[in-house]
Homo-oligomer: A and B are copies of this chain.
Amino acid sequence: MEFTINQIAAMLGGQVQGDGNEKINMLAKIQDARKGQLAFLSNPKYEQYIYTTQASVVIVKKDFVPRKEISTNLILVDDPYIGFTSLLEEYHKMINFQKTGIEQPSYIGENSVTGNNIYRGAFSYIGSKVKIGDNVKIHPHVYIGDDVVIGSNSIIHAGVKIYSGTRIGNNCVLHSGAVLGSDGFGFAPQEDGTYKTIPQLGNVILEDNITIGANTVIDCATLFGDSTIIHQGVKLDNLIQIAHNVEIGKNTVIAAQTGVSGSTKIGDNCVLAGQVGLAGHLIIANNTSFGAQAGISKSIKDEGMKMIGSPAFDVKEYFKSYAVFKKLPDLNERLRELEKKVMSKVEQ
């Protein structure tokens, strides 16, 4: 993966000043960049670095006029920041999608079909009757059970475990150690104090454009034909627990170590901070925000609420209460003083 400055300028629709044939193999910050690397200058605060940078080329604004001599090449564009981030994205895609082919040993069961341009890493396991779309990247140590469906352009990182019957859409990214479709936590208490396992026969559905963080777990639904559903555009961070029959609305974002209990439905475009816990069987309205470590014990009907605390309530009210909480020993003392005064007045 090496491009000439001319090639990069063509991608960005920019103009080259200097040697367009020099080769670039890396992107870097202007203050750190070395020979063979590309940087950008957008914020004027960093202009000083363009006179000293070792970068082979710097993307600058079309109207940039150097105040001193510069030794680097330039690519002139409308917006250097957007230009740079576009390159970042392209580079990232290239890295993520460059692997193709089948490393050995790897395993694939009967009646499974895979699309074009896929990668199956060594020690990856694909069960029977699995359908996998184009450009899917299945890294080493991935386990895919029977009857799983995976759409196109999805990346399954090393060591992800996908139980039988799971359905995954297009453009999803699953990070290492994520588990999809493990049994829901369902046990019926018996008279003798033991628990009987309730069979977990549903599955997990991930729609399109979903990211699942490392070591996050999503349990399957309990009944046949039922699903734990993650709607399109949802982003889940690491070490999150999603219990059986949960449904998460589109474009909802959940930070690390949050847990959602069984059968709770979270609306669209919600934002959950880290280490939040939700009880089971709740319905959470669209556009709800939960602060870090919030504990949610009731459904939320009104959209746009911002809540924190355990149990959670309005975030502003919470912090007002908490401000008084910090002074409680003082408040207690003031009350005691007042009681004494009043008592002495009463006794007078």
Contact = CB atoms under 8 A, between A and B. Distances in A.
Interface in A185-236: 185, 187, 193-195, 197, 199-201, 209, 211, 213-215, 217, 219, 223-225, 233, 235
B29 A225 contact: yes
A105 B329 CA distance: 66
A32 B331 contact: no
Do most interface residues of chain A lie in helix, strand or loop, or is the interface mixed? Answer: loop
B182 A179 contact: no
Interface string A266-302: 0011000011010100000000000011010100000
Contact of A292 (B163, B295, B323): B295
26 contacts: A26-B224, A27-B201, A28-B224, A29-B225, A32-B225, A92-B199, A107-B122, A121-B125, A123-B125, A140-B143, A158-B163, A161-B176, A183-B211, A185-B237, A187-B211, A195-B233, A213-B217, A214-B217, A241-B257, A257-B259, A259-B275, A275-B277, A321-B326, A321-B328, A338-B338, A345-B345
Interface of A: 26-29, 32, 88-89, 91-92, 103, 105, 107, 121-123, 125, 139-141, 143, 145, 157-159, 161, 163, 173, 175-177, 179, 182-183, 185, 187, 193-195, 197, 199-201, 209, 211, 213-215, 217, 219, 223-225, 233, 235, 237-239, 241, 243, 250-251, 253, 255-257, 259, 261, 268-269, 274-275, 277, 279, 292-293, 295, 297, 310-311, 313, 317, 320-329, 331-332, 334-335, 338-339, 341-342, 345-346
